[in-house]
Amino acid sequence: MHLRRPVMTLLVAVALPVGAGEEPVAPSAGEPAGIEPEFVRPLVPIARGRNDSNPVWSPSGDMVAFERSRGDNKEIAIVRANGDIVQIIHQQASVVPGQSPFFFPEVVEQTSYNSGISWSPNGKRFVFMSNGGEGNYDLYLREPDGRITRITTHREKDGHAHWSPARDQIAFISGRSGKGDVYLLDLATKATTRLTHGEWPYLYPQWSPDGKRLAVIQGINENHDVYVLEPGHIPPAPPMPLSTWRYDDLRPVWSPDGKRVAFYTNYNPADDPKTWAIVVVAADGSDPTEGEGLAARVVATDVVPDVERGPAWMPDNRRIVYVRNERQAYNPIYIADVDGRTSTLVRTGTKMNHDVTCSPSGVIAFRAQVDQWDQVYLAKLKD
């Protein structure tokens, strides 16, 4: 199993510097009108020598956890919304050759890679993936007091964890089946249950807001489809497809009310596999899964896909924040109206945006580039 991003061509451009206190620039003639945010600011002071990415809001919206890269190492920073740092996680196991069950000759190194954050419902804990410097990826738990506990110990890779919003249960992907299947881990009993036995690997399980269903993708190479699983259904129900066409569909995310699912697709009229869009369908499977019927559910085009987090729903269930693939505009942030199929520019004044996510109150966190270094920004829209 490969816990990695699907292969895509990334847009490369030279970013212009953005100052920490820079205000959005008023549109000039010929530029699209847009939304002026109430504020746009860095989450923490801008600094060179590190790249910050993939912000994840806590359920209450008072904290943000994000990934910070320094050289080959990737640590996790927990920061309050006001910028105060709570904790930096740099998981590094003490490995003794011949004593660790996960020791692999010429693999054990000082590089620590930590990523894939998912908060518990009460926001006091979160799960993440780490190699712990051992060359083996497992799931770890960050406790309320800051302690780190290892919760999976298999030789095969475990990752893509998502914490149920309804109980202390974590869905994750593991290679222990030989390819990539969905498993459930009950934190109280420590019991692990295999959910899928598919022909092709599964990736990126995402719980519905009520904790009863999981949206996943299944497939290989550049052809993944979206399915919904019902782990507690008796008798067991087969995966319900939300897409079945030849295009690549990635990273399904539930709307906050659980009624719809948004995902990325490389369907487009020009049949260009490098051009991406966002599709929104009914979560109950009542919408078409292919052809013109599914194509009609496209709500935004020319999208820069974020396969770490997926489309970013706003709390009103009718808007999605995304990054548009516009080279000359340095990938600006837009908001799509799901029902109206219209998009509006958000004038953040930032460059090379990515990793967009929304808090429960609608504050946007995202990654932007300053002097070639990635920084996490916050933006709040006016009420």
Query: 3-class SS at 294?
Result: helix
Residue 1 has pLDDT above 70, yes or no: no
- 367: DSSP letter: E
What average pLDDT does this structure show over 302-320? Answer: 96
pLDDT band per the 50, 70, 90 thresholds, residue 110: low
pLDDT of residue 32: 64
- 66: DSSP letter: E
The per-residue DSSP string of 109-167 comes to -S--BEEEEEE-TTSS-EEEEE-TTTT--EEEEE-TTS-EEE----SS-EEEEEE-SSS
21-45 pLDDT, tens digit each = 444 444 444 556 799 999 999 999 9
Burial zone of 64 (CB within 10 Å; 0-12 exposed, 13-18 middle, 19+ buried):
buried
202-239 pLDDT, tens digit each = 999 999 999 999 999 999 989 999 999 999 887 888 99
Measure the CA–CA gap between 295 and 291, rounded to whole angstroms.
Answer: 6
Lowest mean pLDDT among 81-85, 100-104, 248-252, 254-258: 100-104
Query: Cβ(109)–Cβ(71) under 8 Å?
Result: no
Type of residue at 50: R
Q: Considering only residues 297 and 101, tell me which one the structure prediction assigns the higher pLDDT.
A: 297
Residue 2 has pLDDT above 50, yes or no: no
Measure the CA–CA gap between 201 and 224, rounded to whole angstroms.
Answer: 9
pLDDT of residue 23: 42
Measure the CA–CA gap between 80 and 93, rounded to whole angstroms.
Answer: 27
322-370 pLDDT, tens digit each = 999 999 999 999 999 999 999 999 999 999 999 999 999 999 999 999 9
What average pLDDT does this structure show over 302-309? Answer: 94
pLDDT of residue 216: 98
pLDDT of residue 100: 43
Q: How many CB atoms lie within 10 A of CB 212?
A: 15
With pLDDT > 70 as the criterion, what percentage of the chain qualifies?
86
Residue 191 has pLDDT above 80, yes or no: yes
User: Which domains, from first to last, does the chain contain?
Assistant: 34-380 (2.120.10.30)
pLDDT band per the 50, 70, 90 thresholds, residue 4: very low
* Tokens describing residue 14: 């030279």
Residue 98 has pLDDT above 70, yes or no: no
Measure the CA–CA gap between 319 and 329, rounded to whole angstroms.
Answer: 22
Residue 103 has pLDDT above 50, yes or no: no
116-137 pLDDT, tens digit each = 999 999 999 999 999 986 778 9
268-282 pLDDT, tens digit each = 999 999 999 999 999
Measure the CA–CA gap between 278 and 305, rounded to whole angstroms.
Answer: 9
Q: Which among 224, 323, 305 is positioned nearest to 264, based on CA atoms?
A: 305
- The H or E element that residue 292 is part of is helix 291-295
pLDDT band per the 50, 70, 90 thresholds, residue 10: very low
Q: Give the chain's mean pLDDT.
A: 88
